[in-house]
Structure 1
């Protein structure tokens, strides 16, 4: 064992095997005196390959790794796939009757293309997990079907799956699962995913990263307990064009949506919503444009905006802001009366898209604005009267400014229409910093108490 390893385990004493059981009057070995149950809990939070290395520390540690109630393994740490499989089987034999806390397995190996063998390993291990009352499962595996018994495990608290196949399910009962992450999972059909979610009776956090061929046309998230939902759609066209996302979660507090290809987002009134991060464009990209005569699309956008209108903190992507602007030219936006914090980006400093939305935020206190490069030709903008931002107190322009006319119009708009503004923070390009400070002094401020900070 090297010196660094010794220092991690011992305090004020040598850690060689020969001296492990010796101690002088003024030396304290805190780790050595810990009970095995506590040591096992500490080791549970380390990768298994590192846990095994502790066997060389002393005679007490020689077999301690075998009794850690969980696994954290990556097949890439093994020279041969079969060695990886054998290690897991051997480790499980040490825990034939004990309960397990955690299991994290990353299996990217190729067992000579033998799908039958892979399914056999998966089935054997999943059955062992359920028998051992596993609480936390984090499983990444190439396209292999998960046995249905997993979805009736009454001990699971957290379920994370990546790359696997969810079969047709007749029954789901996961009464203790609070956290679920489904990353690039392929589902048998719409109903399989819907049943999995609804079968988690106390689910609080759901993260869903979709693959382009996941077999889901209408994604329904229906949960009476869900507090956080993070949805990230694929950037590739799948088996279904224009997929639909439905959200029925009355207790939802944190919502994150990111998908440009979903044509329809349906939400019931999310009255408990605290924070939302919206990066969607209702499939108006790739040459498709907003059609003001499409009444069904307008109704869907109207209902979606009304559904999230109770939010307190909101992050809006530039593509979403453009859709909101296009929609606002047809009918008024709903009021976001609870909105206190808004962070929004727009394309190429096209800040004229912003005022129309700000008019629907009567109690906004903090605003953060940024800019990003536009990948395509943008929509036309109709200028209109500027209304007072009567509640705005803090503004931050986080994209470095260079002092061009469009940027200065944005600063002028914010300073000239915010009667109680307390602080404006701007970040300026170093090459134009002196000119910037001079130009800011020439802009008329509606709030006499506003402080301007330039970085």
Structure 2
């Protein structure tokens, strides 16, 4: 009987195919033949997404230790049912040794469980380019870190020990280009400070428990802000390269710093009450303006924007409850 078509393919192509399959299926191929017995160990992408728990944690650790690829392009872990911090630290340490480039950690625990602490071993990983943390993960960064290759950082409903932890994490990523911070919990955050000299894309969804967000990003090109409640404000201290900004679901932003920083934008989407703009502000670059007409005094804001936007070419008014994403 002849060989099957897949087995006749070169190893590089087979590894590429295996990279698109769930890791548990990839490991199962080791029983096909002698050639396949070790081939799965060279797959550069691993994803354990079947809800790792105390019963399966040992198998995950064993699989990572057996992995032999010189570069681990990505490792995705979905953790549940009270996995220990030590397990996550071990897995991250192995990924660090494999020169991991993308690390995604999603932890879903019961409401009363303590969050899993983010593994400190990755704070000094030179190869890490993408880091995404979701849900019951505690970000505790007592001092500055060094992740010089990190370009994408997404924090989705995680917990923070304090405001300094966020600041230390961001400051340790000198080449950060894409930053998303979506909700989260922290009782002691007074101010959220984002100082990122190379940041190009920023999405802030919801405040983290403080009253002020300060942004210093001279290379920022795309900004999305959503979900600031009454009494919270945002200071954009330095964003001269801004091209597109979307501001939505904001009940109170009265600050000339943010409106002044938006002046360089070519495209604006606004779903908010009038900004308090600095005297003489002119939006010389603005050519596209989208406005939602559900907020109070939206007409006054529209008239104001028309008066100070001499190059405006496109105006889009939206009158429904669907907010910009």
| TM-score after normalising by structure 1 | 0.63
Tell me if structure 2 keeps the 8 A contact 1:269–1:306.
no
1:137-286 correspondence to structure 2 within 5 Å: 137-141=103-107, 142=109, 143-163=115-135, 164-213=137-186, 215-233=188-206, 240=209, 243-261=211-229, 263-281=232-250, 283-284=251-252
Shift of 1:33: 4.1
Shift of 1:216: 2.1
Deviates more, 1:160-169 or 1:48-57: 48-57
2:96 to 119, 122, 130: 130
Deviates more, 1:118-127 or 1:35-44: 35-44
3-state DSSP of counterpart to 1:337: coil
Tell me if structure 2 keeps the 8 A contact 1:275–1:312.
yes
| Partner residue, 2:274 | 323
Shift of 1:332: 4.9
**1:362 and 2:294 equivalent?**
no
Q: CA RMSD in A?
A: 2.7
Cα separation, partners in 2 of 1:214 and 1:157, compared to 1, 3 Å: farther
| Partner residue, 1:378 | none
Tell me if structure 2 keeps the 8 A contact 1:231–1:258.
yes
Tell me if structure 2 keeps the 8 A contact 1:269–1:308.
no
| Partner residue, 1:108 | 80
In 2, Cα distance between equivalents of 1:56 and 1:126: 27
3-state DSSP of counterpart to 2:99: coil
| Partner residue, 1:310 | 264
Tell me if structure 2 keeps the 8 A contact 1:220–1:245.
yes
In 1, Cα distance between equivalents of 2:227 and 2:296: 23
| Partner residue, 2:112 | none
In 2, Cα distance between equivalents of 1:42 and 1:333: 59
| Partner residue, 1:68 | 43
Tell me if structure 2 keeps the 8 A contact 1:232–1:259.
yes
3-state DSSP of counterpart to 1:323: coil
2:289 to 342, 346, 354: 342
The structure with the largest strand share of the pair is 2
Tell me if structure 1 keeps the 8 A contact 2:215–2:238.
no
**1:91 and 2:63 equivalent?**
yes
In 1, Cα distance between equivalents of 2:148 and 2:120: 15
In 2, Cα distance between equivalents of 1:219 and 1:119: 26
Cα separation, partners in 2 of 1:280 and 1:333, compared to 1, 3 Å: farther
Paired residue total: 313
3-state DSSP of counterpart to 1:208: strand
The higher radius of gyration belongs to 1
Deviates more, 1:53-62 or 1:259-268: 53-62
With CA pairs under 8 Å and 6+ residues apart, which has the higher RCO, 1 or 2? 2
| Partner residue, 1:371 | 319
Structure 1, unaligned stretches of length 5 or more?
Answer: 1-17, 22-28, 112-117, 285-296, 375-455
| Partner residue, 1:35 | 10
